Chain A
């Protein structure tokens, strides 16, 4: 997994299986961590497991990252019963994997939530799940904060891992860039305390709200209980009193009630213990609610307490009536007073006039059911009805949340519809409990509104900080880079510099130390630098060289930024004149301009360029100079500077001219001895023919047919001699001719013609192969001829020395003319003795020769080399067992013309 180097983010698309497995493991670990939620109150939780995956955003390949996140987020599907949250998380991972390498993980996650995350959430939760606006806004804000926090936490953990220095042990861990670090720091500073605060504060707020609700419920419940109990107790007493005075018998009922009862009871009946309440109810056209209650209600009472029984009267089953059943002892016999309550009796009892109560009061009997005592209880009743036994048991001691909507465990939105309930037994009615129910909506809405404000402020702050951090991180990294660069420069004077991209977060901690070291060495270096500079100045002033610096842009020199004062001594110009634009280019000799410009174009950092050319002295004459410059290696794209020196090489040029001449003389000598032999042949012929003619004439044999063929022979032989002499013309020429576009093939042919006599004497075959015909090079014809002649003679000498060594195989010199598009390539190959490997590197050195004294000055090849180089070309030598090969490359004339154009 971790073997990539030198890129901060993995870029490859080929992922080893091992890495995928590790990503999967990470995802599972994240999934596990996601089960530990950070509760923010009212059903809102932060899950931070994905942070574990985002630790490895720099280490994992994009696909692995997405895989890990899609696994670790899978919990949300289970948790929320919908895949939308998961989809948004996976999209987030994809976005980060793609964008983070270009900026930073934190910046990319912020960007994601602006560009895609928030709109997707609005679409999914608002459009598809139809979440209400308040919850939707809250969910979006929460998800944004959660998402950004995960990445920030991942970054922080990564920095923590980096500080443990895992390099080497587990492959390559890219360092964090300063920008990433700064952004992460800012975001972490904002997000973490806020989240922690919310996590600490929100549940307690929620608890406080719940407590308030609970207190409200409790007081309601207590009041209801107290009222009901008091009412039941007092009415029991009153009913017993009434019964004592009543004339009614068991089984009779009284509808003409005393005034005191009229408001509360609609009917009072007396039932004997053997009579059933159900029979009574059915006689009244109704029934008792709850079978057990009906069966057991009139069994001999274990105590003398009154009971409350729910029954329906008439056909309407919804028309629930309560009856107060009071055991009564009359004349030593037990019977029961059944007092049927008016519908509103209990309701009026629990209603507190003038007080607005949002909740509802229920009375609950496990045997008979749940009955609302308040008017607006219809939606709450089903909830209270569906309360489980354990919920009910819990409700005795603390508030219980009742909700009909089930979004799994995410109670983000269903809280609003839920009711909160408390239950307590009614003191006077052991079978009955009173439940006080309050909708949670007002409290939740209030809390939600607060949370939303909180989150919106947080998100706004995060984005603001994100912008600010981005801006500051760019500045900071720029400054840090500069500082660390100069610190590094000072401490590692002269050593190669790491590229500025390699300045990482480590340097942030190291930088103070580095600066301290730098400060210490700075004084030392400054002293050294000063003396160095003094020496340089001295050299610049007194040495016969000119030092200059020139800015380089796009591979071309632009402005000369420095030129040493020695310019005046050498060229007559002041430095101010030297620094004026175009001074240099306008001072080059027109003949040298082309090749000089060609030499100094396409400047690349770290390379050295050189040219020899003539530069105009202020007095008007030209000075031969050697100019070499090297481009300082700097970061890509940055401004570059080239530093060069110009040397006066007039003397060397003059001596080179002399050497050229002396070598020419040596060649001439050898040519003459070869040519003399050749010239002797026609002379010999002529002499014999003339002598024979004379003898014949002396003897009087003057026939024309004898004379004419001889005279024709003589004429032919004279022509042969003059042709030989004509070929020697080039040695009379000077090298002051101007260069011109010359045809390679005809030059080669004319040189072959010159060298042929010598070759023929040695029995050497000369073969010419023309692969590219009609190519021209820009050259001095005589000089090129001399180079070629030199190579031919060398080749022939090599063949001769092979013959002398006893190998009599026929000598052959093969000349190939070819072109590689930019240059003409002339190859002179021989099958001579070859060049020994130890000699090969030295053959172009001046005065190096393998020939006996007097035969060569040893300057032939070095001068040939110089000539070819001066013409902008190259001369190379190769050797094998089959012989030596010399390769001349010369720029094509039309290529030069095109460049000049």
Chain B
């Protein structure tokens, strides 16, 4: 896979804001891409959490990161913690979790991160992203 970055082609909700979706199930990424673009977001997708982290740091207009929890190389929570620690001051990234594990709970300073269970409630997910980007 040459490029994990796929620039959005449809109209954007916020010309400056993009979202990044990280899920290690590679086959599903095009559907996510299509879905979020149909919803009007400029969307990047990525199957590797490490690469996802690099993308967030390199691309300042990524404002929302939606990630799976159980992934082969890096746990979603670990990734969020690392990203939060390494983001420059003033950079505001919103995190959302999309997982198939119903038992997932977050605690401490991660407790504010919204969790969406697979199969995703698409309307709620789009509404949550919109709410974040509008603010």
Binding site for B on A (CB under 8 A): 673, 676-681, 683-689, 691-692, 695-696, 699, 710, 713, 761, 763
Contact A692 B35 (CB under 8 A): yes
B27-A680 in contact (CB<8A): no
Interface assignment of B59: CB less than 8 Å from any CB of chain A: no
* Shortest Cβ distance from residue B78 to the other chain A in the assembled complex, whole angstroms: 11
- What 10 A-B pairs have minimum CB-CB distances, sorted nearest first? A680-B100, A684-B118, A687-B119, A683-B119, A680-B118, A688-B31, A684-B119, A677-B100, A695-B38, A677-B101
Q: List 25 A-B contacts (CB under 8 A).
A: A673-B103, A676-B100, A677-B70, A677-B101, A679-B100, A680-B117, A680-B118, A683-B118, A684-B118, A685-B31, A687-B119, A687-B120, A688-B28, A688-B31, A688-B32, A688-B120, A688-B122, A689-B31, A691-B35, A692-B31, A692-B38, A710-B31, A713-B27, A713-B31, A763-B72
Interface 1/0 per residue, B16-39 and A, CB below 8 Å? 000000000101100110110010
Chain B residues in 8 Å Cβ range of A761: 70
Interface residues of B in 86-135 (CB under 8 A from A): 100-103, 117-120, 122
Q: What's the nearest-Cβ distance from chain B to residue A764, in Å?
A: 12
User: Which residue, A679, A687, A696, A713, has most C-beta atoms of chain B within 10 A?
Assistant: A687
Q: Which residues of A contact B117 (CB under 8 A)?
A: 680
Max chain B C-beta neighbours (<10 A), residue from A678, A687, A692: A692
- Chain A residues near B101: list those with CB within 8 A: 677, 680
| Chain A residues, CB < 8 A from B102 | 673, 676-677
Cα–Cα, bound, A304→B50 (Å)? 165
Q: CB within 8 Å of A: which of B1-55?
A: 25, 27-28, 31-32, 34-35, 38
A681 touching B100, Cβ below 8 Å:
yes
B residues less than 8 Å from A687 (CB atoms): 119-120, 122
A730 to B89, CA, bound (A): 55
**Across the interface, do B100 and A688 meet the contact criterion of CB distance under 8 Å?**
no
Q: What is the bound-complex CA distance between A699 and B40, given in angstroms?
A: 13
Query: From residue A799, how far is it (CB to closest CB) to chain B in Å?
Result: 15
Residues on the A chain within 8 Å of B122, using CB: 687-688, 691
Complex: chain A residue closest to B25, CB-CB: A681
Q: Give Cα distance in the complex from A710 to B35, angstroms.
A: 12
Chain B residues, Cβ within 8 Å of A679: 100
Q: Which residue on B lies nearest to A678, using beta carbons?
A: B100
Residues of B within 8 A of A763 (CB): 72
A718 to B71, CA, bound (A): 22
Residues of B within 8 A of A678 (CB): 100
Closest to B28 in A: A685
Q: Give Cα A603 to B51, complex, Å.
A: 69
Chain B contributes a number of interface residues (CB within 8 A of A) equal to 19
With a cutoff of 8 Å between Cβ atoms, the chain A residues found around residue B32 in the complex are 688
Min distance, Cβ A148 to any Cβ of chain B, angstroms? 96
Q: A692-B35, A692-B38 are in contact. Are A686 and B70 (CB under 8 A)?
A: no
In the assembly, what is the distance between CA of A9 and CA of B102, in Å?
82
How long is the Cα–Cα vector from A683 to B28 in the complex, in angstroms?
A: 11
Q: Which residues of B contact A688 (CB under 8 A)?
A: 28, 31-32, 35, 119-120, 122
Give chain A nearest CB distance to B76 CB in angstroms.
13
How distant is the Cα of A678 from the Cα of B70 in the complex, in angstroms? 11
With both chains docked as a complex, state the minimum distance between the C-beta of B35 and any C-beta of chain A, in angstroms.
5
- Of all chain B residues, which has the CB nearest A695? B38
Q: How far is the CB of A680 from chain B (nearest CB, A)?
A: 3
Q: Does A680 contact B119, Cβ atoms closer than 8 Å?
A: yes
CA distance A695 to B119 in the complex (A): 17
Contacts of A684 in B (CB 8 A): 28, 100, 118-120
A741–chain B nearest beta-carbon distance, Å: 40
Measured CB to CB, the nearest residue on chain A to B72 is A763
Partner of B118, one of A681, A689, A692: A681
Residue of B nearest to A680 (CB): B100
Q: How far is the CA of A689 from the CA of B34 in the complex (A)?
A: 9
Kindly state the separation between the CA atoms of A673 and B70 in the bound complex, as whole angstroms: 14
Residues in chain A near residue B25, CB distance under 8 A: 681, 685
A677 vs B99: C-alpha distance when bound (angstroms): 8
Roughly how many angstroms separate A720 CA and B28 CA in the complex, as a whole number?
A: 14
Query: In the complex, A685 Cα to B118 Cα: how many Å?
Result: 9
Query: Beta-carbon contacts of B55-74 to A below 8 Å, as 1s and 0s?
Result: 00000000000000010100
- Tell me the nearest residue of chain A to B34, going by C-beta: A692
A540 CA to B39 CA, complexed, in Å: 84
Cα-based distance from A713 to B122 in the complex (angstroms): 19
In the bound complex, what is the Cα–Cα distance between A304 and B84 (angstroms)?
171
Q: Please give the distance in Å from B11's CB to the nearest CB on chain A.
A: 13
Instruction: List the B side residues contacting A692 at CB < 8 Å.
Output: 31, 34-35, 38
Measured in the bound complex, the distance between the Cα atoms of B98 and A683 in whole Å is 13
Identity of the chain B residue whose Cβ is nearest the Cβ of A676 in the assembled complex: B102
Chain A residue nearest in CB terms to B101? A677
List residues of chain A with CB within 8 A of the CB of B100.
Answer: 676-681, 684
> In the docked arrangement, what's the CA distance between A691 and B119, Å?
11
Residue of A nearest to B122 (CB): A691
Give the chain B neighbours of A713 by CB distance below 8 A: 27, 31
CA distance A686 to B120 in the complex (A): 10
For A696, list chain B residues within 8 Å (CB).
Answer: 38
- Give the complex CA separation of A680 and B32 in angstroms: 15
Interface centre among B25, B27, B100, B120 (most CB of A within 10 A): B100
- A414→B71 CA distance, assembly (Å): 120
In the assembled complex, the CB of B73 is this many whole angstroms from the nearest CB of chain A, namely 9
A404 to B55, CA, bound (A): 137
| Residues of B close to A695: CB separation below 8 A | 35, 38
The residue in chain B whose Cβ has the minimal distance to the Cβ of A696 is B38
State the CA gap A680–B100 with chains docked (Å): 5
Q: In the docked arrangement, what's the CA distance between A685 and B25, Å?
A: 10
CA distance A633 to B115 in the complex (A): 72
Tell me, in angstroms, the Cα distance from A512 to B62 when the chains sit together.
109
CB distance from A724 to the nearest CB of B (A): 12
User: B10 → chain A, closest Cβ, in Å?
Assistant: 10
Give the docked Cα–Cα distance between A781 and B120 (Å).
39
A679 to B100 Cα, complex, angstroms: 8
Contacting residues, chain B, for A673 (C-beta < 8 A): 102-103
Residues of B contacting A681 in the complex (Cβ-Cβ under 8 angstroms)? 25, 28, 100, 118
Q: Which residues of B contact A683 (CB under 8 A)?
A: 118-119
In the complex, what distance in Å separates the CA atom of A695 from the CA atom of B37? 11
Closest residue of chain B to A688 (Cβ to Cβ) is B31
B107 to chain A, nearest CB (A): 16
Nearest Cβ on chain B to A41's Cβ, whole angstroms: 115
| Chain A residues whose CB sits within 8 angstroms of the CB of B35 once the complex forms | 688, 691-692, 695
Nearest Cβ distance between residue B3 and chain A, in whole angstroms? 20
Question: How far does the alpha carbon of A679 sit from the alpha carbon of B102 in the complex, in Å?
Answer: 11
Other 5 A-B pairs with CB < 8 A, given A679-B100, A688-B32, A692-B31: A676-B100, A677-B70, A688-B119, A691-B35, A713-B31
Least CB distance from B127 to A in Å reads: 14
- Which A residues lie within 8 Å of B118 (CB)? 680-681, 683-684
Task: With a 10 A CB-CB cut-off, give which of B25, B38, B102 has the most chain A CB atoms.
Answer: B38
Interfacial chain B residues near A710, Cβ < 8 Å: 31
C-alpha gap A692/B119 in the complex (Å)? 14
